Chains A and B, each alone.
Chain A
Amino acid sequence: MSPILSVRDLTVMLKRPSGPVPVLERLSFDLDRGRTIALVGESGCGKSMTALAIMGLLPDGFVLESGAILLDGEDVAKAPPARLRALRGNAMSMIFQEPMTALNPVFTVGDQICEALRLHQGLGRRAAMERALAMLKAVQIPAAEQRLHAYPHALSGGMRQRVMIAMALACRPKLLIADEPTTALDVTVQAQVFDLLKDLQQEMETAILLITHDLGAVADITETVAVLYAGRCVEQGPTLEVMGAPRHPYTRGLWACSPHLTLGAAAAAAAPDPLQEIPGLVPPLGQRPASCAFAPRCARATAVCTHEVQPPLGVISPDHAVSCRHPEERAAA
């Protein structure tokens, strides 16, 4: 079975008066029908830029320099604007981080869900409203009949994000991109939203590209994870393997620097050790060397890391690849 989404050597540049600056460099990954891939990494590593490139929504000044984005075999990187408009909201759709700013405050929830259905699927007003109502029920909004006629401001953050999901899935897209879908929500609501996405995915066989900081969610709902650093993929592989035995020092650092909850008898132990830190910052655009961009922050870096170009993603086990000259030992995890 060919993948629903296949990103090949995607390179995005930012045009500056002083010359183009790379934002994403030769990013490649595949996503099968009904599967989920997570993109993880710090801010400024290119996660959202990847999402916007796929949707054809790159901001002014950013250009898709080279590479292919195959959505069910069709290269959307080369698609004209009219074709992209026909695809967006239909074959591919996106959920944004902040449900307050992503919904239009002057239209009712029902109108906004109907828009995609009427535009892309040619449904009449009544038929579209019926589908919108079914979608609101599918995303488990209580009293859906009344909420259909509510305006976004009358809904809580969790409800708004459910409306966003209903909008995004109304046309049963092949691909759903969720960019930090729960960051603005409370923890208990976050867990509910991820469960909902997982349930709807099973029903609709939508492929999901998930951008998140929430490692719990990565483990819960994704099969594959790609770790980005400074616009380059540094590690990619099956979620369980990458989380259980990260091989790139950056991946390992990311996992180790967030405190993990311990419960039961283990919680009674004395004060925990200091958290592991990744010193320093992600290098800003335009200051990324051809050598490993992580080397200045890396405890394992040697002269070869800073003098030679960053190695390509090397396969270390089936599906698991890492771009590092000194990968962590398997046993280290």
Chain B
Amino acid sequence: MTATDSDRRRPVLQVNDLTVHFPTAGGRVVHAVDGVSFEVQEGRSLGIVGESGSGKSTTAQGVMRLVPATAGQVVLQDEDFLALRGRRLRQARRRIQMVFQDPFASLDPRRQAGDLVAEPLRLLEGLSRRAAAERVAQLLPSVGLPPEAAFLYPHQFSGGQRQRLCIARALATEPDLIVCDEAVSALDVAIQAQILNLLRRLQQERGIAYIFISHDLGVVQHLCDEIAVMYLGQIIEQGPTASFFTAPRHPYSWSLISAAVPAGAMRERLKARYLVRGEPPSPIDPPKGCRFAGRCAFALDRCRAEAPLPGAVGPRHFVSCHRAGEIEAPDFSVPPATLCA
């Protein structure tokens, strides 16, 4: 996919300066998400990666209005989703749906599978019980479940099958965008591959866009066209997946990558040089300058004093680092020994 090709695609979602703050009991402020901006194009996938506490899930919840945004815009079909009320909000909710991490916790154990999948159809599209059941019978096979599964209860499904149910429920209203928050993290590798392939097939067939939140860089590289790296409530680097994994520019991206490199000589070399030590600082009253400066091996006084702004380093590829281009980037030229066939 060339840059011009991707420029032509219509954005289905634009997030502008999304900020989610929570007050603490002590009168301080948790800066869970601090000025995050991105767009998701029609039929494409944006991966959001970062450590726990980096704000990736809160970003998803802010976009979905599951937590109130402190500031910012979420533009869906030329409307600010965050400002909608009543009928127009329900209309808009049909376009954006979500799949959660734990398929055991996100399905009501006392309701039949068919009922669960029909719920968004009944609530958001106002379908009758009968019409909804017909749609469910078509939906279940498209996620690889037999139509009879509609009469079973969640506990009668395996973890992977439950996640298929959650995907069917998210698909029910034929959304433009599905937000997947660690949707495969709780699954075994073999099942994870089945679900990832299902998500890709659905995208090819129906042109759905995904926001795919994950801590697994391998999974994100496999599924996503673009990637955004979050650190302490901010996006520190974002760009097309190919460009990001060819030449990542932020020292924190290097650290994430070096922790995920397949076994081999390159893994040792990258880990020794780029893997950061310790854990991220608290999002309560975060540092004033670059938020990564405290753990960054390349930080200067300027980094600690002044927050960097995102700068373009390639087509659609942005990095927030004062020293981008100035410090020597990791050398990936030695291919990792492909131990795993």
Contacts and interface: CB of A to CB of B under 8 A. Distances in A.
Contacts of B336: 262-263
Contacts of B216: 187, 259
Band of interface residues on A:
35 or more
B143 to A, nearest CB: 15
A269 B240 CA distance: 12
Contacts of A218: 263
B279 A158 contact: yes
Given A263-B245, A269-B242, A257 B261 contact: no
A255 interface: yes
A303 interface: no
A268 interface: yes
Interface in B239-285: 241-246, 255-264, 266-267, 271, 275-279
B220 to A, nearest CB: 9
Contacts of B221: 259, 261-262, 267, 272
B160 A258 contact: no
A243 B241 CA distance: 27
B197 interface: yes
A263 B260 CA distance: 11
A246 B339 contact: no
For the residues of A in contact with B, the DSSP-based class is helix
A34 to B, nearest CB: 20
Interface in B314-340: 332-333, 335-336, 338-340
Nearest to B245: A267
B262 A260 contact: yes
A275 B160 CA distance: 16
Given A188-B255, A255-B340, A274-B197, A261 B189 contact: no
A216 B261 contact: yes
Given A192-B277, A244-B339, A281 B160 contact: yes
Contacts of A267: 221, 241-242, 244-246, 332
A278 B218 contact: no
Given A255-B341, A261-B260, A263-B257, A156 B193 contact: no
A315 to B, nearest CB: 22
A9 to B, nearest CB: 27
A167 to B, nearest CB: 20
Contacts of B190: 42, 253-254, 257, 277-278
Contacts of B191: 42, 281
Contact of A261 (B1, B158, B193, B262): B262
Interface string A137-178: 000001000000000000011110000000000000000000
Nearest to A328: B341
A266 interface: yes
A84 B191 CA distance: 37
For the residues of B in contact with A, the DSSP-based class is helix
A255 B339 CA distance: 9
Contact of B332 (A142, A264, A269): A264
Given A42-B190, A191-B271, A216 B341 contact: no
Interface in A261-292: 261-270, 272, 274-279, 281
A156 B255 CA distance: 20
B37 interface: no
Contacts of A243: 263, 339-340
Contacts of B51: 186-189
A43 B160 CA distance: 12
A188 B197 contact: no
B189 A240 contact: no
A30 interface: no
A261 B255 contact: no
A290 to B, nearest CB: 23
Contacts of A187: 51, 215-217, 256, 259-260
Given A43-B188, A156-B279, A275-B196, A264 B340 contact: no
Nearest to B215: A187
B256 to A, nearest CB: 7
For A218, A243, A262, A274, the residue with the greatest tally of chain B CB atoms inside 10 Å of its CB is: A262
A325 interface: no
Interface string A194-209: 0100000000000000
B271 A261 contact: no
Contacts of A268: 242-243, 246
A304 interface: no
Contact of B246 (A220, A264, A275): A264
Nearest to B260: A261
Given A216-B267, A258-B218, A192 B260 contact: no
Q: Considering the complex of A and B, which 7 residue pairs feature the smallest CB-CB distances, nearest first?
A: A264-B332, A219-B263, A267-B245, A257-B193, A259-B222, A333-B341, A263-B332
11 contacts: A42-B189, A42-B191, A186-B279, A187-B51, A187-B215, A216-B260, A257-B193, A261-B262, A263-B246, A264-B245, A277-B197
Interface of A: 42-43, 142, 156-159, 186-192, 195, 213, 215-216, 218-220, 240, 243-246, 252-270, 272, 274-279, 281, 332-333
Given A244-B339, A256-B340, A261-B221, 10 more contacts: A42-B190, A186-B279, A188-B51, A213-B189, A216-B260, A219-B339, A254-B189, A260-B218, A263-B246, A277-B193
